């Protein structure tokens, strides 16, 4: 089965390796170019050295690690999902794991005078801001910009045929829906609940969801779906052409 793995330009990942280990063809297509604003992150960290630092994506965690350098953040640091947690700063003083940012907000401890510092993308998942603001004064900083690579529709068309797409973020779901031109979009396995919600909003068909979010959860969701539908290798029919 040919599985599309969206990734950042110039970066590979263990997700493609896991897909290949299952005997599938991992088709890696750059679907995002990350541009970090480390100066903005440094200023926010310096202005709020004891804030509860909330990291809701691996890219945000990478931006914080780069901005801190050899320094450290004195306040608690919490993360959404194992992929984000794996890039936590070494100086992290606390970790709360949750599948979504909204779920994470529910687990944040209440501290008198707590400030919540949120390094985020320019297009955050809807609902996250409101959930975090309920836990204390919220300070937001755009830590990175997620741009579409040039001629993404052409890159996706060249990758066809594709049987399934693993969608790792809400922004990828929106980008896939707008750039796919080779017939109906293939079904997707999503990285978690927020990604699934965004994918459905743009008309993508979600056939599996990682639980918990991360490479292992994606592989389990993929295996579960293949057990349910039988897999294209057995039917000989491209998965994106079959009915739900």
Is residue 13 scored above 70 in pLDDT?
Answer: no
- State the burial class of residue 170 (Cβ atoms within 10 Å of its Cβ: 0-12, 13-18, 19+): buried
Select from 24, 64, 80, 76 the least CA-distant residue to 210: 80
Overall residue count recorded for the chain in this entry: 244
pLDDT recorded at residue 92: 66
Let me know: does 162 contact 140? Beta carbons within 8 Å: no
47 vs 58 pLDDT, higher one:
47
**Average pLDDT over all residues of the chain:** 83
Q: Tell me: the pLDDT tens digits for 196-211?
A: 999 999 999 999 999 8
- Rounded to two decimals, the pTM is 0.73
Is residue 120 scored above 60 in pLDDT?
Answer: yes
Residue 155 pLDDT level (bands cut at 50, 70, 90): very high
Map out the domains of the chain with their CATH numbers. Answer: 2-33+148-241 (3.40.50.10090), 37-146 (3.40.50.10090)
Dist. CA 110–CA 102, nearest whole Å: 15
pLDDT recorded at residue 10: 46
């Amino acid at each position: 089965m040919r599985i599309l793995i969206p990734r950042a330009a110039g970066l590979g990942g263990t997700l493609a390796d896991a897909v290949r280990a299952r005997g599938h063809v991992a088709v890696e297509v750059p679907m995002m170019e990350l541009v970090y604003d480390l100066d903005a992150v440094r200023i926010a960290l310096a202005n709020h050295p004891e804030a509860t630092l909330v990291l809701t994506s691996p890219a945000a965690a990478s931006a914080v690690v780069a901005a801190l350098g050899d320094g450290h953040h004195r306040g608690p640091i919490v993360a959404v999902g194992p992929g984000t947690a794996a890039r936590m700063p070494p100086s992290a003083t606390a970790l709360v794991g949750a599948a979504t940012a909204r779920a994470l907000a529910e687990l944040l401890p209440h501290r008198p005078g707590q400030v919540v510092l949120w390094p985020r993308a320019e297009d955050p998942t809807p609902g996250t801001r409101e959930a975090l603001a309920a836990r204390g004064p919220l300070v937001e900083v755009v830590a990175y910009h997620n741009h579409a690579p040039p001629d993404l529709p052409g890159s996706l068309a060249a990758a066809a045929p594709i049987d399934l797409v693993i969608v790792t973020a809400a922004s990828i779901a929106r980008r896939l829906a707008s750039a796919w031109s080779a017939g109906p979009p293939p079904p997707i396995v999503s990285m978690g609940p927020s990604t699934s919600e965004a994918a459905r909003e743009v008309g993508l068909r979600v056939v599996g969801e990682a639980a918990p979010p991360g490479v292992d959860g994606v592989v389990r969701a993929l295996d579960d779906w293949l057990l349910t539908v039988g897999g294209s290798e057995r039917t000989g029919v491209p998965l994106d052409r079959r009915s739900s």
